[in-house]
């Protein structure tokens, strides 16, 4: 791909447009509503940063906002329905006050069949922009404030071309001690169930020096938990491999944790496993989506590894890092999945011993290979498998968590949970509750006394 990076002149132009809007937006509020993954959360922080640059005050309450942007997810049908119903809710308000502007962006907006549906059925949506347009938010906002007609900012080129990287646009971080840092965008894997390669284009990496500088600045500002983000971080190639990038990002002074999301099992290298073991600033948590325990289904999914290869890698990770937590994603009810295939998934889960599983029911995504496969599985069967897997995982997680009783864990405080109980996260990303309030963003040692499948409890040492 040519011109991977957006030139500084274009970034300067966006800053200029933003500045030109400040008098018009004075006293006005904007709101970004986010669905989906961490990548989307981070995109929203960048959109919010650009909105602030344009002069808006950000609010979490859309009722106060005159500029509302809905950042959508397309990974499963459920996510799409939720985003559309969110958009629909503004219909009445929009009819009463035409000056309110509503924009829709993200993975759903990137797909042409969805855009057509939005244009047809959601007249309250004023504008749409794609996943590679975040650096142009000032220009989009200017258009929204002046245009008489609905408009869209989308790279219409084929999915194997779109995708560019912008550096230097502002980020408005939601949290003062936890941060996301994208290292790469897009995906080249084309797992047959997955919409991501169509919605986010081909893999492209940020420059090593840009990523490292962003992490360094965050550490200096006092951030304690930083996650490197990408659909498939192990194929990072912005000047070094991912293991080196992670090691370098975790090499600054001070107590903080580096995390990463997400790895593809075929690319998770021994070098990466060693960096996790040897670098004290790398969190002892590995999220390694397996998707299925049946080699036959994995082949149909185009995952490029077998059950045996996954098992070998998972056991190696655990052996090299005895205190690590290993989590995964599993899809139930992929087309043609038999009872025998599912039994293999169950037995793999038992053999590995995952700390947590994100279980999903297969959702056919228009345009993907699997959506047109014969042998779609009835919902009732998928639901049954989902429940069997969740029940078994509960027992496994309980057993793994019981082993923490009596141990001391270093916990990064999140302040209070929604029940008003002091809580935080361990290096394994386990939720830990304890007896005394500790301000969010501070580390504390907790002696574990109780364990459940989803959380640990203890007393401050």
Please give the Cα distance from 165 to 204 (Å, whole number): 8
**Residue 331 or 412 with smaller CB distance to ligand SF4:** 331
Distance CA 430, CA 406 (A): 15
Decide whether 196 or 411 has the Cβ nearer to ligand SF4.
196
Report how far residue 318's alpha carbon sits from residue 234's, in angstroms, rounded to the nearest whole number: 18
Instruction: Give yes or no for residue 131 binding ligand SF4 (CB under 6 A).
Output: no
Q: How far is the CB of 57 from ligand SF4 (least distance, A)?
A: 35
Which of ligand SF4, ligand 5AD, none does residue 326 bind to, with CB < 5 to 8 Å depending on kind? none
Residues engaged in binding ligand 5AD (CB under 6 A): 75-76, 193-194, 289, 291, 329, 331, 360, 362-363, 365
Residue 298 sits in the site that holds ligand SF4 (CB under 6 A): no
- Pick 55 or 197: Cβ nearer ligand 5AD: 197
CA distance 342 to 349: 11
Is 196 a binder of ligand SF4 (CB under 6 A)?
Answer: yes
Q: Which among 99, 427, 437 has a CA at the least distance from the CA of 283?
A: 427
Which residues does residue 106 pair with via DSSP β-bridges, in sequence order? Answer: 72
Number of H helices and E strands in the chain, helices first, is 15, 19
**97 Cβ contact partners less than 8 Å away, ≥ 6 residues apart:** none
Shortest Cβ contact with ligand 5AD: which residue?
Answer: 329
Q: Measured between alpha carbons, how far is 84 from 111 in angstroms, rounded to an integer? A: 14
Q: Which member of 106, 197, 238, 333 binds ligand SF4 (CB under 6 A)?
A: 197
From 231, 359, 427, 429, residue interacting with ligand SF4 (rule: CB under 6 A): 231
The partner in contact with residue 190, picked from ligand 5AD, ligand SF4, none with C-beta cut-offs of 5 to 8 angstroms by kind, is ligand SF4
Q: Which of residues 169, 187, 226, 246 is near ligand SF4 by CB under 6 A?
A: 187
N- to C-terminal Cα distance for the chain?
Answer: 54
Give the residue from 362, 366, 374 showing the smallest Cα distance to 336. 374
Cβ atoms within 10 Å of 338's Cβ, excluding its own: 13
Nearer to ligand SF4, 159 or 173 (CB): 159
The residue range among 2-10, 122-130, 185-193, 397-405 that interacts with ligand SF4, by the rule CB under 6 A, is: 185-193
**Rounded distance between C-alpha atoms, residue 186 and residue 106, angstroms:** 13
Which of 236, 360 has the CB closer to ligand 5AD?
360
Give the nearer residue to ligand 5AD in terms of CB position, either 224 or 365. 365
The C-alpha atoms of residue 403 and residue 266 are separated, in whole angstroms, by 30
3-state helix, strand, coil in the chain (%, to 5): 40, 20, 40
Nearer to ligand SF4, 187 or 282 (CB): 187
Residues 252-291 that bind ligand SF4 (CB under 6 A): 264
Report, in Å, the least distance between residue 28 CB and ligand SF4: 37
Site residues, ligand SF4 (CB under 6 A): 187, 189-191, 194, 196-197, 231-232, 264
């Amino acid at each position: 791909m040519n011109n991977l990076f957006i030139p500084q002149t274009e970034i300067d132009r966006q800053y200029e447009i933003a500045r030109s809007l400040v008098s018009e937006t004075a006293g006005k509020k904007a709101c970004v509503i986010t669905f989906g993954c961490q990548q989307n959360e981070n995109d929203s922080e960048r959109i919010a940063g650009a909105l602030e640059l344009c002069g808006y005050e950000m609010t979490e309450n859309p009722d106060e906002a005159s500029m509302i942007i809905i950042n959508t997810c397309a990974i499963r049908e459920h996510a799409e329905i939720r985003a559309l119903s969110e958009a629909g809710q503004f219909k009445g308000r929009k009819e009463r006050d035409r000056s309110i502007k509503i924009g829709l962006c993200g993975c759903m907006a990137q797909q042409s069949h969805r855009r057509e549906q939005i244009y047809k059925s959601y007249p309250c949506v004023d504008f749409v922009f794609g996943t590679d347009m975040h650096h142009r938010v000032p220009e989009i906002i200017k258009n929204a404030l002046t245009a008489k007609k609905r408009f869209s900012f989308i790279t219409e080129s084929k999915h194997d071309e779109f995708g560019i990287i912008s550096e230097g646009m502002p980020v408005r971080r939601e949290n003062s001690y936890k941060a996301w840092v994208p290292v790469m965008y897009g995906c080249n894997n084309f797992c047959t169930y997955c919409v991501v390669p169509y919605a986010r284009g081909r893999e492209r990496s940020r420059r090593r020096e840009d990523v490292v500088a962003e992490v360094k600045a965050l550490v200096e500002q006092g951030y304690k938990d930083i996650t490197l983000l990408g659909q498939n971080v192990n194929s990072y190639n912005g000047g070094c491999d991912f293991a080196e990038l992670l090691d370098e990002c975790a090499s600054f002074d001070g107590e903080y944790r580096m995390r990463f999301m997400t790895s593809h099992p075929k690319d998770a290298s021994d070098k990466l496993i060693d960096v996790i073991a040897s670098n004290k600033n790398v969190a002892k948590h590995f999220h390694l989506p397996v998707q299925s325990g049946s080699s036959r289904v994995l082949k149909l999914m185009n995952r490029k590894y077998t059950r045996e290869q996954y098992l070998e890698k998972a056991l190696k990770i655990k052996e090299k890092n005895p205190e690590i937590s290993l989590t995964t994603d599993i899809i139930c009810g992929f087309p043609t999945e038999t009872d025998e295939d599912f039994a293999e998934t169950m037995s793999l889960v038992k053999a590995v011993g995952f700390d947590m599983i994100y279980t999903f029911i297969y959702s056919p995504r228009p345009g993907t290979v699997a959506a047109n496969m014969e042998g779609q599985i009835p919902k009732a069967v998928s639901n049954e498998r989902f429940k069997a897997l969740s029940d078994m995982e509960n027992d496994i997680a309980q057993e793994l968590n019981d082993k923490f009783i009596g141990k001391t864990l270093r916990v990064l405080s999140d302040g209070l949970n929604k029940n008003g109980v002091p809580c935080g996260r361990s290096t394994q990303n386990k939720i830990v509750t304890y007896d005394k309030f500790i301000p969010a963003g501070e580390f504390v040692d907790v002696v574990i006394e109780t364990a459940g499948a989803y959380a640990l409890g203890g007393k401050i040492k």
